[in-house]
């Protein structure tokens, strides 16, 4: 959702995830540097130069023809949202397309030419006629934020991880120069030159601009896996700030435009209507309906606790008679993931030198475990949770053993554990192939 950002994990699991064939994407100096909004001639000249060098209509830096091994909504024919993310992040780094902040892994990636790509939004009729624009705080969207301010539009930027509200309205000082407006468009400027916008404020967003890790010409979008863009849009629908006709724009490098299997797209996923790259403006014509509000059955209690504005919206919808049952709330239809348990948190017995087995006492419902090893040093628990969610093998409890680069997944029966082990076999996180083995199995 950010500091580099926000999903298949969406707001349920996570509260905290080209080249032509035979060629590669060039890293040209003409992609670097900033382009002033008023220098239309320079923008056009650079765009023509880029068009002669950049990749073709769709990035073919990686194939989606992996053998069909994984099954489930988020993984089809061996391709998952996470595998697409990892390949794009790796590709952008290895081909020096990535720009500050680096590395771009686990972020909405900034890229050389992002400022130029953002200038194309001026040519869209949907931008010319807007009064209020919501732009995510991701680094590659900085140029669009500046252009919105320079065009005297009302600029709304989501608050990081939604912890202090939904939006901040950017308010440049009176008589702000172009340099000051540029500062207002940066992440620091968003913090220093903004005022919060409450739920009761009269907000009508004319245009939504989001960051992406991957996007297809059909309009399917993949974020960094934390789900904040999806949640923000759903919250805007719930508060009446957007409607089904509000256009959504994303800004990416050409290598981020890839084929995304429609089977990976879920009801809560936000789709896009326009894709801007350093060389192209793509109108997707996407007819897939956008989210029509918050899907409370996918919201976790943990997420609700960390986002006050989400609690307020839930109370309003509850009073309006809507079903606001959370995913892991009593009465929900979906099994809730258990709490993350670290080794030092395991309950101890009163006897000397003994420790109680996690399969005893309150944990008697856990009968089988799967050990996942060789986790990359930089892996965070939320990234593993996201993978488990995408594969459809969410455990009842996860014991994180970070210093040993492993985790233990606890399931209610051997069949569930065996299915998880089977789906995790051969999976890679970053450069590491996971080592997966069945642990303790106990018949219930």
Q: Is the pLDDT of residue 214 over 80?
A: yes
Residue indicated by tokens 């890293």: 27
Residue indicated by tokens 């403006």: 281
Q: E strands within 64-131?
A: 75-76, 79-80
Instruction: Write out pLDDT tens, residues 350-360.
Output: 333 333 333 33
List C-alpha distances in Å: 68 to 62, 314, 424.
16, 40, 13
DSSP letter, residue 35: -
Residues above pLDDT 90, as percent of the chain = 40
Residue range 220-231: average pLDDT? 88
Containing 190, the helix (H) or strand (E) segment is helix 187-192
List C-alpha distances in Å: 85 to 82, 107, 333, 364, 410.
5, 10, 30, 38, 27
Give the pLDDT confidence score for residue 379 in this predicted structure.
Answer: 81
Q: Which of 305, 235, 302 is nearest to 270 (CA)?
A: 235
Give the pLDDT confidence score for residue 308 in this predicted structure.
Answer: 85
Give the pLDDT confidence score for residue 330 in this predicted structure.
Answer: 64
Distance between CA atoms of residues 260 and 272, nearest Å: 13
Q: Which of 395, 394, 403, 393 is nearest to 373 (CA)?
A: 403
Instruction: Write out pLDDT tens, residues 142-197.
Output: 999 999 999 999 999 988 777 777 888 999 999 999 999 999 999 889 889 999 88
> Between 415 and 177, whose confidence is greater?
177
Taking the model in full, what pTM does it have? 0.64
Give the pLDDT confidence score for residue 350 in this predicted structure.
Answer: 38
Distance between CA atoms of residues 63 and 83, nearest Å: 11
Give the pLDDT confidence score for residue 389 in this predicted structure.
Answer: 82
Instruction: Write out pLDDT tens, residues 77-130.
Output: 568 999 999 999 999 999 999 999 999 999 999 999 999 999 999 999 999 989
- For residue 399, give the 3-state DSSP assignment: strand
CA 203 to chain centre: 24
Give the pLDDT confidence score for residue 303 in this predicted structure.
Answer: 82
Q: Is the pLDDT of residue 336 over 80?
A: no
Residue range 199-215: average pLDDT? 91
82 has which bridge partners?
A: none
371 has which bridge partners?
A: 408, 437
Residue indicated by tokens 């789900």: 227
Question: Does the N-terminal peptide bond of residue 363 adopt cis geometry, omega within 30 degrees of 0?
Answer: no
Two tokens at 354? 């003994």
Residue range 6-16: average pLDDT? 36
Q: The dihedral of CA 160, 165, 167, 171: what is its sign?
A: negative
Report the chain's mean pLDDT, rounded to a whole number: 77
Instruction: Mean pLDDT check: name the lowest of 302-311, 327-336, 384-393.
Output: 327-336
Q: How confident is the model at residue 441 (pLDDT cuts 50, 70, 90)?
A: low
């Amino acid at each position: 959702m950010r500091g580099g950002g926000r999903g298949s994990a969406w707001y349920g699991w996570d509260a905290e995830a080209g080249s032509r064939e035979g060629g590669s994407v060039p890293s040209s100096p003409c992609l670097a540097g900033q382009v002033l909004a008023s220098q239309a001639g320079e923008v056009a000249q650079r765009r023509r130069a880029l068009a002669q060098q950049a990749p073709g209509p769709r990035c073919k830096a990686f194939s989606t023809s992996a053998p069909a091994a994984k099954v489930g909504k988020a993984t089809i024919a061996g391709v998952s949202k996470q595998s697409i993310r990892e390949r794009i992040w790796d590709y952008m780094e290895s081909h020096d397309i990535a720009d500050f902040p680096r590395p771009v892994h686990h972020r909405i990636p900034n890229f050389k030419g992002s400022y130029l790509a953002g200038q194309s939004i001026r040519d869209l009729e949907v931008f010319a006629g807007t009064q209020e624009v919501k732009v995510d705080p991701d680094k590659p969207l900085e140029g669009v934020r500046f252009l919105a301010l320079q065009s005297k539009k009302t600029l709304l930027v989501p608050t990081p991880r939604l912890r202090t509200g939904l939006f901040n309205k950017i308010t440049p000082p009176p008589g702000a120069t172009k340099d000051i407006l540029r500062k207002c468009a940066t992440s620091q400027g968003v913090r220093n030159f903004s005022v919060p916008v409450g739920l009761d404020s009269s907000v009508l967003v004319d245009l939504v601009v989001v960051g992406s890790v991957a996007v297809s010409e059909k309009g399917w979008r993949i974020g960094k896996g934390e789900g904040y863009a999806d949640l923000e849009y759903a919250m805007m629908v719930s508060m009446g700030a957007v409607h089904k006709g509000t256009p959504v724009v994303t800004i990416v490098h050409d290598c981020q435009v890839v084929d995304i299997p429609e089977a990976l797209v879920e009801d809560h996923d936000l789709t896009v209507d326009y894709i801007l790259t350093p060389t192209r403006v793509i109108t997707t014509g996407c007819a897939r309906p956008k989210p029509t509000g918050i899907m409370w059955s996918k919201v976790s209690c943990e997420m609700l606790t960390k986002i006050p504005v989400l609690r307020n919206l839930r109370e309003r919808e509850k009073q309006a008679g809507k079903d606001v049952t959370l995913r892991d709330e009593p009465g929900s239809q979906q099994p809730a993931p258990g709490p993350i348990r670290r080794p030092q948190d395991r309950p101890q017995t009163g006897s000397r030198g003994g420790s109680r087995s996690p399969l005893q006492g309150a944990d008697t419902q856990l009968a089988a475990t799967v050990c996942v090893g060789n986790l990359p040093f930089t892996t965070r628990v939320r990234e593993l949770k996201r993978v488990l969610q995408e594969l459809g093998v969410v455990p009842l409890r996860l014991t994180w053993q970070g210093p040993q680069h492993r985790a233990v997944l606890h399931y209610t029966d051997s069949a569930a554990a065996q299915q998880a082990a089977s789906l995790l076999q051969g999976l890679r996180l970053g450069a590491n192939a996971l080592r997966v083995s069945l642990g303790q199995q106990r018949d219930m």
